[in-house]
Each structure stands twice: as structure tokens, then as C-alpha cells.
Amino acid sequence: MQVQQEQRFWNPYIGGVALGLVLLTSFLVMGQGLGASGAVYRYGVAALHAVAPAHVEANGYMSTIFANGASPFDDFYIFMAIGVFLGGVVSSYAAGRMRIGVGKGPRIQVPLRLTLAFSGGILMGFAARLTRGCTSGQALSGGAMLSVGSWIFMLSVFAGGYALAYFVRRQWT
């Protein structure tokens, strides 16, 4: 099996401490937490803006990222997302884990898996705007800052995941 060529994943507790140190660095040096969904949102709006600029500029919520002629890519979290991607590339390549494929359980066909991956993404994208941040920005960063809203969010995420897990079990097991 190919699995033998791969390095093992880190011990989760070591991973947790390492991730915490990255987050702590971000807090202390930049005064900001980690984030991911904000950058993807900006890419989405920029793509729509390329097709229908007038439509986006007329939208009260999305037009704010173009305020005063700003570029949607001139943002701290856009740069962070580029770093996240590169970090993932370097890490997976060096560990022998970089492989084109589809992550899924044995009982599900690829087209359905990709449809679900896309649908779940839509739910998360919408939700992350609603909650002013995703698992990175709210649960992780806000959680470490002991923000009440972030802890409400974090508990809800786990509750939502566990509540639905039974119904999509064929996708994973």
C-alpha cells in the first residue's frame, strides 16, 4: 500500500500546541487572530465583480470591500489564506501526502461526494458570514480570547455536526 510511504500525522496534542503557538504569534505580533472564510468570501465577491461590477457595487453588504476604490485583495486575511495554501502544499509534499484524489468513505460514489462537498461549502459560506467568522476566526481565535459569542458558536458547530452526522454516515463509513 502507498500509505507506507507517507509520514505519520503529528500527535494531535503536539499539533494543538503548535497551532496554538501560531495563533499566539498572530495575536502578539499582528493583534489579529487566524481566519479563512473572509478571504474566500473576498475571492467570491471579486469573481462576481469581474462579471457584474455594477451589481456588486449596488449591493450594500458586498460593496463595502470596494469602498474608496480599495482592491478586494488588499487584505490581511487574503495574504494569510495564500500562506495557508502554501503551507499545506509544502507540508503535504514533504510528507509524501500530496496526491490528486477525492476524500470519502468506501460506500459513496465520487459525483455524489463532490456534490455534497459543494453543498456543505455553500452552507458554511453562508453561515460564516452570519456568524462573522468561521471555525478559524470565531471558534479558534475568538475562543482563545474567551469571547462569549465565539464559545456559543463553537458549541453550536459541534452540536450541528453531531446532530446531522447520523444522516450522512454513508458518506464516511
Partner 1 sequence: MTFPIESLVGEFREFGLFVGALIGFGFGFVLERSGFGRAPKLAAQFYLYDMTVFKVMFGAIVTAMLGTVAAAGIGLVDLTALAQGAVSGTFVWPMLFGGLMLGAGFIISGYCPGTSLVGSASGNIDAMFTIAGVAVGSVLFGEVYPLVEGFHLSGEQGQIFLYQLFGIPPAVVAIGVTLMAVGGFIGAEKVEKIMTKRITVAATVVDEELRSRPSSRRWAFGIYGAVGVVTIVTLFFPVAKQAEAGARVATPITAADLARDVIDAPWSVRIIDIRDNALCATERVTGAECVPAAQLEQLGLAFSTGARKLVIVNDGSATPIPAAANAYPGELRVLEGGHAAWHAYALVAPEPPDPAATSEVRDANLFRAAVHSALTGVAAPPPVAAGPVGAFVPKKKKGGGCN
Q: How many residues bind partner 1 (CB under 8 A)?
A: 125
Q: Which triple of cell numbers denotes residue 1? A: 500500500
Q: Does 34 bind partner 1 (CB under 8 A)?
A: yes
Q: Does 27 bind partner 1 (CB under 8 A)?
A: yes
Q: Does 165 bind partner 1 (CB under 8 A)?
A: yes
Near partner 1 by CB under 8 A: residue from 70, 71, 170, 173? 173
Q: Which triple of cell numbers denotes residue 90? A: 509544502
Which residues, in sequence order, are CB contacts of 81 under 8 Å at separation 6+? Answer: 36, 39, 40
Q: Does 66 bind partner 1 (CB under 8 A)?
A: no
Near partner 1 by CB under 8 A: residue from 53, 58, 70, 88? 88
CA 99 to chain centre: 20
In the region spanning residues 105 to 144, those forming contacts with partner 1, defined by CB under 8 A, are 105-106, 113-114, 116-144
Q: How far is Cα 82 from Cα 18, in angstroms, rounded to an integer?
A: 19
Q: Does 59 bind partner 1 (CB under 8 A)?
A: yes
Residues 69/154, Cβ–Cβ less than 8 Å: no
